[in-house]
Amino acid sequence: MKTVHKNVSRRNFLKASGLTGAALTIGYYLPAAANDATKIIHAGSADTLGVSLNAWVSIDSSGKVTIMNHRSEMGQGSFQVVPQMIAEELEVDLDKVQILFAPGSQDKYGSQITGGSSTVRGSYLHLMRVGASAREMLIQAAAKRWNVDSHECYAESSAVFHKPSGKKFTYGELVEDAAKLEPPKTVKLKNVEDYKIIRKPLQRQDIPSKVNGKAIFGLDKKIEGMLYAVVERNPRFLGKVKSFDDTAAKAVPGVKHVFKVQMPVFATTREGVAVVATNTWAAMQGRKALKVEWDDSGFEHLGTDQVYDRMKSDLNKPGLSQRTGGNAPAAFDKADLKVEAIYETPYESHSCMEPLNCIAHVKEGKVEIWGPIQGPDWVQSDVAQRLGLKPEDVTVNMTFLGGGFGRKAFTDYTYEAVVISKEIKGPVQVVWAREDDMTQGPFRPGATYGMKAGISKNGNITSLQAKMAAQNMDHQNPGADKTFYNGSTGEGFLQPYFESIPHYSFGDVPTESPIPVMWWRSVYSSTNGFAYESFFDEMAIAAGKDPLDFRRNHLNNDRYQALIDMLEEKTGWKNRGKKEGWGVAITECFGSIVGEVVKVSKNTEGKVKIDKVTAVMDCGWYVNPDIIRQQVEGSIVMALGAATKHETHFTDGKAVEKNFDAYRMPRLTDTPVIEVHIMDNNEKAGGVGEPGLPPFTPALCNAIFDLTGKRIRRLPFDLNEV
């Protein structure tokens, strides 16, 4: 896919997109005043006003439609659903739409971060208004040519028709006239029942290029005169370079430069030695020949046991309160029935199939960057600030991402490439080996949870206390207020529970550790969900209630009740077999609710096996059901790995697992049958890429308890040893 030049004028856009002749080009922008409505205008008017458009739709004289997208594509499907939304309202066939990457610029495009499952839910109404506006302008242009009322005309298949006469103009024939019209101030969007493209399981347009090798990922990108670099980084995160001997490294054919580099990681600095060569292999061989002496003084060298002992000790400390209602401790003391449990979740590597990489070219007062980047606007701002440049002097070009999961939204690897390019005074591609990717972090934070609940004689929760001890990602930032609570402590917990439980408290104790941590798919929901939904099961069993009925009785909300109805219907929950184990969990994050039921049994050897996972996704308004199923299936497999296969351990301050031989991934033979059902309702669009992950692990553990009577409170665990 192409990236539009950083100076996104109408001329540059048309040039980059390959459009021919006259074109109708419109888009939307967000006015500076927060309370002003989103406006749709011509690209030419945007140039005149000095504003840039968040998404452009352009139609040329051949009828070709091009969309400029300001978000990345890392497998979640934005390159399919964005054009699918535009094409629906524009009334064009999807095979006539191409999509281009926009460069990084928060000033121009608002937030460009691809995270929090936000691409559709954050902009779907704006995108559809752009498509509908262009459609109406083309209809107006046709009506003027025919000298008829526009209400007598309609658009279909890239053409405008006159109902009474049957006359027709193609979009290509109308763009020159339509480009002279002002976009309508209001447009009526289609009703759901009138959709022709949205809600259809259309095949993804990016898949063929990814299969035949034409798609450009970060590692595929090449620019003229580029050198290649790898970095020997301190394995203890905060350690420094004491000295290094580069004699043998420089003797490797192709090695051009060897020098010390520093890379900012939150409020700390990671140090290493860069080896730059004419090809990646030579750089790697030079790195192997390098001799480095590290200074690892002045900070803790923690192991896994020490970290978890610290977190468990922190659970005994007063927590920072995120959300409270009533008086949970007092209500717990008076409860008829008390339930308590502690849960532990591991540190995890992101382990994207495409390791980190980035190309940078630092010139006089200018910087250009290419790579697999989740947050191009963040990278632009970070580099500009560190080099003392204007943001517009930093161009950030996106490629496809071979997985991201939050890791490629961070700015450390991009700035490292900039530092190396500046040192060698030329373009360079910095490549992280798999071992770098797995051992350097930042990691998903491990966590411990202390849970307490009071239950009445009739089986209602009267008091619920949740305390998390874990590293707070925000506390790593420069100048962070470490007295501030973790705002994600309640993430994943169903919102109606706060209304049905009279006394509750959610808080955290920030555990201190030199291990760098950050977002991992579904962020804190991935660990919170295990603790909260496992504990809900424990409460249900203690109260003598069916686990699904117990949840239903605490959810006084029609939307959640409908989801439970579908779970019961699709799984046959009420007809569970006696030699089977069934577990359920329901979590909520990024605007979506997902319920999952896992069924387990024992194989002929008496080992637990997963027979089936049934998921019900309520993401409100949605675009492509196939992409939803793909994302939920992928989330479940990723959760399966984190629950039963892999974790990152630490010994003497260093990450232990360096590659997939030790950090084991689920295989096809480990993957159960997965069935995904999608709710239809009138709710706003929610996220899809992440919400399917949190409920799987607690549902699995609850199913194992139902089958074996063994309660799992620490992850990961081995299914063969249950």
In total, how many domains does the chain have? 3
CB within 8 A of 608, min separation 6: which ones?
A: 581, 600, 601, 602, 704, 707, 708, 719, 720, 722
Q: Give the model's pLDDT for residue 44.
A: 74
Which of the pair, 35 or 605, is modelled with greater confidence? 605
Check whether 290 has a pLDDT greater than 90: yes
Mean pLDDT value of segment 702-722: 97
- 53 and 130 co-located in one domain: yes
Which of 607, 407, 624 has its CA nearest to residue 516? 407
Encode 91-114 in three state secondary structure: CCCHHHEEEEECCCCHHHHCCCCC
What's 243's domain CATH number? 3.30.365.10
Residue 307 lies in a domain: no
Q: Give the model's pLDDT for residue 577.
A: 84
| Separation CA 85–CA 562 (nearest Å) | 27
Amino acid, res. 388:
G
Q: Give the model's pLDDT for residue 22.
A: 61
Check whether 637 has a pLDDT greater than 60: yes
* Cβ pair 489, 508 in contact under 8 A: yes
Q: What's this model's pTM, rounded to 2 decimal places? A: 0.94
Q: Give the model's pLDDT for residue 71.
A: 85
Q: Give the model's pLDDT for residue 211.
A: 93
- 393 and 330 co-located in one domain: no
Q: What domain range includes position 475?
A: 315-347+443-721
Residue 309 lies in a domain: no
Residue 293, SS3 per DSSP: strand
* Cβ pair 100, 82 in contact under 8 A: no
Residue 449 lies in a domain: yes
Q: Give the model's pLDDT for residue 70.
A: 79
| Separation CA 551–CA 695 (nearest Å) | 14
- 400 and 483 co-located in one domain: no
| Separation CA 427–CA 7 (nearest Å) | 21
The gap from C-alpha 258 to its chain's centroid, in whole angstroms, comes to 36
Residue 39 lies in a domain: yes
Of 111-120, 173-182, 305-314, minimum mean pLDDT range = 111-120
Amino acid, res. 694:
P
Q: Give the model's pLDDT for residue 16.
A: 54
Check whether 6 has a pLDDT greater than 80: no
For the ranges 44-53, 194-203, 280-289, the one whose mean pLDDT is highest: 280-289
Check whether 4 has a pLDDT greater than 70: no
> pLDDT tens digits for 318-357?
999 999 999 999 999 999 999 999 999 999 999 999 999 9
Check whether 31 has a pLDDT greater than 90: no
Residue 495 lies in a domain: yes
Q: Give the model's pLDDT for residue 30.
A: 65
Residue 438 lies in a domain: no
CB atoms within 10 A of CB 12: 13
* Cβ pair 632, 617 in contact under 8 A: yes
| Separation CA 711–CA 703 (nearest Å) | 10
> pLDDT tens digits for 652-695?
999 999 999 999 999 999 999 999 999 999 999 999 999 999 99
- 387 and 328 co-located in one domain: no
- 65 and 134 co-located in one domain: yes
CA dihedral 440, 114, 518, 358 (to 10 degrees): 20
Q: Which tokens go with 223?
A: 């620019």
- 208 and 228 co-located in one domain: no
Residue 589, SS3 per DSSP: strand
CA dihedral 200, 201, 205, 207 (to 10 degrees): 170
Mean pLDDT value of segment 703-716: 98
Which of 494, 440, 139, 496 has its CA nearest to residue 265? 440
Question: Which single residue is written with the structure tokens 């994207």?
Answer: 352
> pLDDT tens digits for 524-578?
999 999 999 999 999 999 999 999 999 999 999 999 999 999 999 999 999 998 8
Mean pLDDT value of segment 165-189: 94
Mean pLDDT value of segment 500-515: 98
Which of 30, 210, 201, 32 has its CA nearest to residue 129? 30
Q: Which tokens go with 141?
A: 């242009």
- 607 and 683 co-located in one domain: yes
- List the Cα angle 159/160/166 in 5-degree steps: 110
The band of 608, judged by pLDDT with boundaries at 50, 70 and 90, is very high
The band of 37, judged by pLDDT with boundaries at 50, 70 and 90, is low
Check whether 15 has a pLDDT greater than 60: no
| Separation CA 612–CA 582 (nearest Å) | 10
Residue 659 lies in a domain: yes
Among 192, 212, 232, which residue terminates a domain?
Answer: 212
Residue 2 lies in a domain: no
Q: What are phi and psi of 117, to 5 degrees?
A: 50, 55
Burial of 150 (0-12, 13-18, 19+ CB in 10 A): middle
Question: Which single residue is written with the structure tokens 């992101």?
Answer: 350
Q: Give the model's pLDDT for residue 213.
A: 94
* Cβ pair 534, 713 in contact under 8 A: yes
Q: Give the model's pLDDT for residue 12.
A: 57
Q: Give the model's pLDDT for residue 243.
A: 98
Check whether 483 has a pLDDT greater than 60: yes
- 251 and 336 co-located in one domain: no
The band of 426, judged by pLDDT with boundaries at 50, 70 and 90, is very high
Of 36-40, 184-188, 552-556, minimum mean pLDDT range = 36-40
Task: Specify the length of the chain in residues.
Answer: 722
Encode 71-96 in three state secondary structure: CCCCCCCHHHHHHHHHHHHHCCCHHH
> pLDDT tens digits for 56-106?
789 999 888 988 777 899 989 888 898 899 999 999 998 888 888 888 887
Mean pLDDT value of segment 272-293: 98
Using left for φ > 0, alpha for ψ between -120 and 50, and beta otherwise, residue 343 falls in beta
Q: Give the model's pLDDT for residue 203.
A: 87
Among 431, 460, 492, which residue terminates a domain?
Answer: 431
Question: Which single residue is written with the structure tokens 């499952």?
Answer: 117
Check whether 19 has a pLDDT greater than 60: no
Among the residues of 152-206, which ranges form H helices? 171-178
Average pLDDT, the chain: 93
- 83 and 126 co-located in one domain: yes
Question: Which single residue is written with the structure tokens 């974790």?
Answer: 647
Q: Give the model's pLDDT for residue 333.
A: 98
Mean pLDDT value of segment 184-203: 94
Counting Cα atoms < 13 Å in the Cβ hemisphere of 323 gives 16
From residue 397, how far is each of 219, 416, 437 by CA, in Å?
Answer: 13, 16, 22
Encode 129-152 in three state secondary structure: HHHHHHHHHHHHHHHHHHCCCHHH
Which of 456, 72, 93, 478 has its CA nearest to residue 265? 478
- 618 and 556 co-located in one domain: yes
- 203 and 231 co-located in one domain: no
Burial of 220 (0-12, 13-18, 19+ CB in 10 A): middle
Question: Judging by DSSP bridges, how do beta strands 227-233 and 268-277 pair with one another?
Answer: antiparallel
Among 156, 178, 212, which residue terminates a domain?
Answer: 212
Mean pLDDT value of segment 41-46: 77
The band of 21, judged by pLDDT with boundaries at 50, 70 and 90, is low
Please name every residue paired with 465 in a beta bridge, in sequence order, or none if there are none: 452, 505
| Separation CA 105–CA 369 (nearest Å) | 13
**Angle of helix 412-424 relative to helix 376-387, nearest 10 degrees?**
50
- 361 and 283 co-located in one domain: yes
- Report the sign of the C-alpha dihedral through residues 67, 72, 74, 77, in that order: negative
